[in-house]
Chain A
Amino acid sequence: MSPPPSPPSNTAPSPPSNTAPSAVETAAAVRAGTRSARQTVEQHLEAIARRESDIHAFNTVLADEARAAADAVDHKVAMGQDPGPLAGVTVALKDNMCTRGIPTTCSSKILEGWRPPYDATVVERIVRAGGIVVGKTNLDEFAMGSSTENSAFGPTRNPHDVTKVPGGSSGGSAAAVAAGFASLAIGSDTGGSIRQPAALCGVVGMKPTYGLVSRYGLIAFASSLDQIGPFAATVADAALLLEVIAGHDPLDTTSIPESGPRLVDQLSQGVDGLRVGVVQELMNGVDADVAARVNEAADALSAAGAKVDTASVPAAIYGLSAYYLIAPAEASSNLARYDGVRYGLRVPGDDITSTYMRTRAAGFGAEVKRRIMLGTYALSAGYYDAYYGQAQRVRTLIIRDFTAAYEHFDVLLSPTSPTTAFAFGAKSENPLAMYLSDVCTIPSNLAGHPAISVPFGAGDDGLPVGVQVMAPALGEPVMFRAAAALERGAPGSSSAATAAGR
């Protein structure tokens, strides 16, 4: 590969990293027998050995398992068998995806040491496709947070600047890709937990349409919002991983009864004539340098042939408030299962009730307790209609406004995060300030729509900026085409590639 052109001043910085090929290139080379899966895995394990102590992307590194899986892929290639579309590609899994016999903690003390008796569907599909799982990544406890500072096992640091947070809740997955620890990563996104850390770490992160990817084996946070999605250094790599994990699964009753979309071979189609709307409501309260990059991204799409205009989704301004009633309400119900009976921590009490109360007090961190109480309150008698019911009606209004906008536009554009990566401690004492990190990403979760964050230059502080592309339900093909065009038009040709050291 030729070296990237020398970057202009607003290009995202490149953390010291490996010079691995993309996931698409790796899979092609391993399948063709010109590169071994083992060699690929060793390269990533070396990167982990070099920098993981500074970054803390992982709760568990699976070095021996990864080597064995790579050898199995190489053996298949040698025997003339099809090793699958992800042959030899390294993948990091957020530690809220169940992996049979391998600790799955949700970065919580309440699940420390628990080894699930089954694999999540996404894990099965990745392994069947020849992907190599290199480890389980750190997160905000139970995916509740926007900085990974809520992990019971200590925060992850941003590979671009270790004094800054990587975002969250999937901060470990974002950092693993940004630092070259894995070519790909899996995250979960309830209010922006894939896209916001992707933006802050200068990588691509994508939340699929609700129901497109099976959640069987994803430990539940807020069931009407949670989706699993890919992280990658490039848009094409994210598309490759989504193709592998998408599609109907009878084990998840919210799974859409359709096969997954074809994406990778459509990325070069371009955006000529595509109608792109910049959502005005999501530009308010955003840092000036971030807003400037979004406007430049719109210009880049315009230069590529898209028709760009301003768009309006008026009810989006209520998204944050509605989300912080709905998500905690659902979480308070989902997390009732951690009672010290069937798995995880038990702190014995005098009777069953005091055992529940002591176990949960000792096992959950402050943010998880806060959200359980907020949700319990929002669902309690006398408040249900004013808070939870009202938030669900606002959700309808947001969907209506998106539907109206999509009569005029094929995709919508906004910042992913209102700021670049912030310092540790900057927001951890003020929950509401932290919640505001998700103001641009939440509307897509409430609507169940797909959205992707693409790196686009840097802020005044030199840290990466992410631009979000949104599309209507099952609009992944057109959304990925727009994302690929954004990537081609980004400063320095592709800040995603430079973030991975390529």
Chain B
Amino acid sequence: MPERISPADVAHVARLARLDISDDEIELFAEQLAAVLEHADDVAALETAGVPVTAHPIPLQNVFREDVERPSLDRDEVLAMAPAAEDGRFRVPRILGEAP
């Protein structure tokens, strides 16, 4: 059975999930997530050797369509809803460490 989730685990997971969280939130979430995971111990403890996983409840085979050109969303309409856009593209903060 997995070990109880610690505040350090919560801080690590928040980092993975790209969530800035406060120390108070870390304490609260550690407690609340532990309660949910404890409830899930019954599932974690079940004997399931040989049972296949279900990822999708209704089995569908690969879905294909004809490779035909069709209109896509209007670029200006899409960019109008972005926090920042420039020259027909999404504008983001710099992603590399060095100065521009």
A-B interaction:
yes
Q: Return the chain B residue nearest A252 by Cβ.
A: B63
- CB of B53 within 8 A of CB of A396, answer yes
Q: Measured between alpha carbons, how far is A386 from B37 in the docked complex, in Å? A: 11
Q: CB within 8 A of B43: which of A210, A322, A332?
A: A322
Interface residues on chain B, number (Cβ under 8 Å): 52
Q: Are A393 and B51 interface neighbours, CB within 8 A?
A: yes
In the complex, chain B residues whose CB is within 8 Å of the CB of A360: 17-20
Best-buried of B42, B60, B92 by chain A (most CB within 10 Å): B92
A353 in the interface, Cβ–Cβ < 8 Å?
yes
Bound complex: CA A465 to CA B52 (Å): 37
Task: Classify the secondary structure of B's interface with A.
Answer: loop
In Å, the complex CA distance between A339 and B93 comes to 12
Interface string of B57-87 (1 = CB under 8 A from A): 1101001010000000110011001111000
Within 8 A of B (CB), among A296-331: 318, 320-322, 324-325
Assess whether B8 is interfacial by the CB under 8 Å rule.
no
CB-CB < 8 A to B58: which residues of A? 209-211, 254, 256, 448, 473
- B2: CB under 8 A from chain A? yes
Q: Determine the residue in chain A with the shortest Cβ distance to B96.
A: A351
Residues of B near A117 (CB, < 8 A) are: 73-74, 77-78, 81
Q: In the complex, what's the smallest C-beta–C-beta distance from A351 to chain B, in angstroms?
A: 6
Closest A residue to B66 by CB, please name it: A250
* B17 CB contacts on chain A under 8 angstroms: 332, 360, 372-373, 376
A348 at the B interface (CB under 8 A): yes
Closest B residue to A449 using CB positions: B57
A406 at the interface (CB under 8 A from B): no
Q: Are A393 and B52 in contact (CB under 8 A)?
A: yes
Q: Is A211 a contact of B19 with CB atoms below 8 Å?
A: no
Given contacts A346-B83, A396-B53, contact A387 B44 (CB under 8 A): yes
B54, B60, B78: the one within 8 Å of A211 (CB): B60
Say whether A120 faces chain B, with CB atoms less than 8 Å apart.
Answer: no
Whether the Cβ atoms of A321 and B81 lie closer than 8 Å is no
Instruction: Compute how far the CA of A114 lies from the CA of B81 in the bound complex, rounded to whole angstroms.
Output: 6
Report the minimum CB–CB distance from B14 to chain A (whole Å). 6
Contact call B44/A349, Cβ cutoff below 8 A? no
Nearest opposing residue in chain A for B2, CB measure? A386
Contacts of B60 in A (CB 8 A): 211, 253-254, 256-257
A389 near B: Cβ within 8 Å? yes
Residues in B with CB closer than 8 Å to A377 are 5, 9, 13, 33, 37
Q: How far is the CA of A256 from the CA of B57 in the complex (A)?
A: 12
CB distance from B17 to the nearest CB of A (A): 4
Determine the chain A residues whose CB is within 8 A of the CB of B10 once the complex forms: 373
Residue of A332, A344, A386, A389 touching B83 (CB-CB under 8 A): A344
User: How far apart are the CA atoms of A339 and B84 in the complex, in Å?
Assistant: 13
Contact A210:B57 (CB < 8 A) given known A352-B95, A377-B5: yes
Which chain A residues lie closer than 8 Å to B48 at the CB level? 390, 393-394, 397
Alpha-carbon separation in the docked complex, A257 to B9 (Å): 44
Q: Report which of A341, A392, A447, A449 forms a contact with B90, defined as CB distance below 8 A.
A: A341
Specify which chain B residues have a CB less than 8 angstroms from the CB of A210 in the assembled complex: 57-58
Interchain CB contact under 8 A, B2 and A448? no
| B68, chain A: closest CB distance, angstroms | 11
20 more A-B contacts (CB under 8 A) besides A324-B40, A351-B97, A397-B46? A114-B81, A224-B55, A250-B65, A325-B40, A325-B43, A332-B17, A341-B83, A353-B18, A355-B92, A360-B18, A369-B25, A377-B37, A390-B44, A392-B55, A393-B51, A397-B51, A399-B57, A449-B57, A473-B57, A473-B58
Chain A positions within 8 Å of B, measured between CB atoms, are 114-118, 209-211, 224, 250, 253-254, 256-257, 318, 320-322, 324-325, 332, 336, 339-346, 348-358, 360-361, 364, 369-370, 372-374, 376-377, 380, 383, 386-387, 389-397, 399, 431-432, 435, 446-449, 473
